[in-house]
Structure 1
Amino acid sequence: MNAREKRIRILDLQDQHCCECEQRMKPLKNCVQHCEVGKELAQLGEGLIRNHQTRRMNTCEHWDDVCKQAVTLHAKGIGYTIIAKKLNCHPSSLRDQLKKRGVWCGESQEEILEKSRQKWNRLCKQAVMLREKGLGYPQIARQLEVAVVSLRDQMQRRGLM
């Protein structure tokens, strides 16, 4: 019986038997001692808790393996976004798990934002010069190898349009 079926069985037992039971307001310990249904409920609940703990352990072990692989790949010069794709997880989840284990050696969010700002400042300056030469935004975007929408957005943010 899987976890879903166990939960449904618990609810069914409670609906069918526990409403009239004189032990219903007492702790489960009393119910288990005096009632066959209580024993079954305790047994079903115990199985659910064990399954949950096993699943959680597997998750920790899984992330330990993923993080080991990620550290190895990053040492070879591969970026975390590409590593996350290869290991079939979200980049932010990978970052969080690596940080949790103390092996994150990437850039902080502030450093990433600053690099992005510098990149777009440089691209926008180039775009202004190309615009003065008479090129349109689609041509400029193609030449700078960026999306037209992103270029326009960044130009507007800087008041250059």
Structure 2
Amino acid sequence: MPDNEETLVDVRSLHHRLVRINRVLRLAGSGSGLSAGTAAALWSITQHAPLRLSRLAEIESVSTPAISRIVTSLESMGYVERRADPDDARARLLYPTDAGRDVMSTARNARVLRLAEALDRLEPADRDMVERAFEVLSDALVPPEA
């Protein structure tokens, strides 16, 4: 935990920059028409399928009723389907459809292209510094294993 106000100011500034980067990249990939929450849920489904609705709610840190509404919306768009769980006939598992995987791939490619364009405008030494800084920061954000 930062121990003085000056450090907190620096961290607030860094957080602001990270939010700004995230916003720009999210906007670059927003051609799908999905809200940020809906896109996040679809991404989680594509990464973790098959999964139950309750598990998706945990992953997304939202209530089960909220994620249920999101999944229903994704189903109506043809991006997600529910199938019977072979281990529990009462339960349903979520799977992305081909269209769901395609929309996630297209959005990701747009964000990657936007980031690549920005990195290409940097001097080689600055690009190396940015890449190393993100590597170090992403590693530091992961809690140490017990």
Q: TM-score of the superposition, structure 2-length normalised?
A: 0.29
Higher RCO structure (Cα 8 Å, ≥6 apart):
2
Q: TM-score of the superposition, structure 1-length normalised?
A: 0.27
Select the structure of larger CA radius of gyration: 1
